[in-house]
């Protein structure tokens, strides 16, 4: 009997404990967090999501944009400030010719020749000068005789003709020396080859003792102002309408990959190469510090005019599905929305957007593919 009473008491105690447990909630049990409704094309990340560390954003703005894919060009001497100098006379080089890299001025002597041609020109001038003196004296004497009626008019005219011929010959021989920049009183047969422009000696094809002639195929010297260079490039026929005279270009070279050099379109060829379907373009390329060298290859970026602006985004922000391109826009903290865009020009690392984005919006520049994957995960969870 006592045993049955104890069993009843134990069962009552267990029942009371179960009722108390069921009717009370633990104090430390977390409350469920309300989740925003799932919308197609939108992604929400939790505030403590580790995925946020892989997402980078940027505020969109308008800027000048590329018109073409980067072009390849070559730097050359500017022919407007370049002189290829050869000798107008034959002769043998005497002394030491001026060396490469020397800065010269107009009239600077590059080399000297011992020239039979110059010696002959000097002898012709001396002879013509002597003949002129004799002809002058003969004409003066004939004038005196004619004044005394000792000779006829015909004799006087013959003396005058002789004087005029001698004076013409003297002037021609003098002009020959002047063209060679040889002094009229010089009689040593030496010729000084001079620079016609200011610049730097960039090529030299002469050595001491060399016999030179006027008909050599290679100039003895090339002098150029290396602070003014020319950029040569070829543009395909289909892109020719995007190039205009006076247009500003941005140039980079492998030697200085982090620096941009400005160039200006100076000449557009009027001839189309039928084999390559390209037109050659010449651009003025300032080189004030002399770092750019003739023969360097260059990459040329053709940008729009300052008033022609568009939104340019990094290619890492774009992902493609089917035939369409998409990006993600950050709407607010932890909230991202997929947006279709139209791309006008796609380059190696950036794209020019023509439709779908507005200045001031916040673009996801890195992490777009991760957000796209997160969107798929949310859709699958919703379906389940």
> Would you state the pLDDT for residue 26?
46
Domain that holds residue 367: 42-66+308-383
* 216 found inside a domain: no
pLDDT of residue 295: 95
Is residue 151 assigned to a domain? yes
The pLDDT assigned to 316 comes to 92
What residues in the chain have per-residue pLDDT under 50?
A: 1-4, 7, 10-11, 14-15, 18-34, 383
- Report pLDDT for 378: 55
Instruction: Answer yes or no: is 266 within a domain.
Output: no
Q: Note the pLDDT of residue 35.
A: 53
Could you report the per-residue pLDDT of 3-49, keeping only the tens digit for each? 445 545 544 554 455 444 444 444 444 444 445 556 677 888 887 88
With DSSP H G I counted as helix, E B as strand and the rest as coil, what are the percentages for the chain, rounded to 5?
30, 35, 35
Q: Is residue 297 part of a domain?
A: no
Q: Which of 156, 185, 214 is the last residue of a domain?
A: 185
Structural domain includes residue 210: no
Do residues 343 and 326 make contact, with C-beta atoms less than 8 angstroms apart? no
Q: What is the pLDDT of residue 262?
A: 96
Q: What is the CATH number of the domain that holds 61?
A: 2.40.420.20
Residue 140 belongs to domain with CATH number: 1.10.287.470
Q: Report helix angle 153-179 to 116-147, nearest 10.
A: 160
End-of-domain residue from the set 155, 185, 215: 185
* Same domain? 58 vs 121: no
The confidence score (pLDDT) of residue 20 equals 46
Average pLDDT, the chain: 85
* Domain contains 62: yes
The answer to whether 85 and 222 are in contact (CB under 8 A) is: yes
pLDDT at 27: 45
pLDDT at 38: 64
Dihedral sign, Cα of residue 335, residue 338, residue 343, residue 346: positive
Asked which of 141, 162, 185 is the last residue of a domain, the reply is 185
Q: What pTM value is reported for the model?
A: 0.73
Helix (H) / strand (E) containing 351: strand 350-355
28 DSSP 8-state letter: T
* CA distance linking residue 126 with residue 130, whole number of Å: 6
**pLDDT for res 184:** 76
What's the domain count of the chain?
Answer: 2
Instruction: For residues 207 and 204, give the distance between their C-alpha atoms in angstroms, rounded to a whole number.
Output: 9
Res 143: pLDDT: 86
| 35, part of any domain | no
Q: Coil, strand, or helix at residue 87?
A: coil
- Whether residue 73 lies inside any domain: the answer is no
């Amino acid at each position: 009997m006592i045993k049955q009473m104890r069993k009843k008491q134990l069962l009552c105690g267990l029942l009371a404990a179960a009722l108390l447990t069921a009717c009370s909630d633990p104090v430390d049990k977390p409350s469920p967090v309300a989740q925003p409704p799932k919308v197609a094309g939108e992604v929400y990340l939790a505030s403590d999501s580790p995925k946020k560390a892989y997402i980078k954003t940027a505020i969109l703005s308008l800027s000048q944009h590329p018109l073409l894919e980067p072009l390849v060009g070559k730097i050359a001497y500017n022919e407007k400030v370049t002189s290829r100098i050869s000798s107008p006379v034959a002769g043998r080089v005497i002394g030491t010719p001026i060396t490469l890299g020397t800065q010269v001025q107009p009239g600077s002597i590059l080399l000297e020749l011992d020239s039979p041609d110059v010696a002959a020109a000097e002898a012709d001038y001396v002879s013509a000068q002597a003949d002129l003196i004799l002809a002058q004296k003969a004409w003066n004497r004939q004038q005196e005789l004619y004044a005394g009626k000792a000779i006829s008019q015909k004799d006087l005219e013959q003396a005058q003709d002789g004087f005029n011929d001698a004076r013409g010959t003297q002037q021609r021989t003098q002009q020959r020396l002047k063209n060679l920049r040889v002094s009229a009183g010089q009689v040593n047969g030496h010729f000084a080859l001079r620079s016609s422009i200011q610049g730097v000696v960039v090529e030299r094809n002469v050595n001491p003792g060399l016999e030179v002639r006027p008909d050599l195929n290679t100039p003895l010297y090339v002098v150029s102002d290396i602070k003014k260079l020319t950029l040569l490039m070829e543009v395909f026929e289909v892109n020719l309408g995007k190039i205009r005279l006076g247009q500003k270009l941005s140039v980079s070279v492998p030697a200085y990959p982090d620096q941009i050099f400005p160039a200006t379109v100076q000449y557009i060829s009027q001839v189309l190469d039928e084999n390559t379907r390209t037109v050659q373009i010449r651009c003025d390329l300032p080189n004030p510090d002399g770092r750019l060298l003739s023969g360097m290859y260059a990459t040329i970026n053709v940008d729009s005019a300052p008033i022609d602006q568009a939104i340019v985004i990094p290619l890492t922000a774009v992902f493609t599905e089917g035939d369409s391109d998409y990006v993600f826009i950050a709407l607010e903290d932890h909230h991202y929305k997929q947006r279709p865009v139209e791309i006008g020009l796609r380059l190696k690392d950036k794209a020019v957007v023509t439709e779908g984005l507005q200045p001031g919006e916040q673009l996801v520049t890195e992490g777009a593919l991760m957000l796209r994957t997160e969107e798929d995960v949310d859709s699958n969870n919703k379906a389940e």
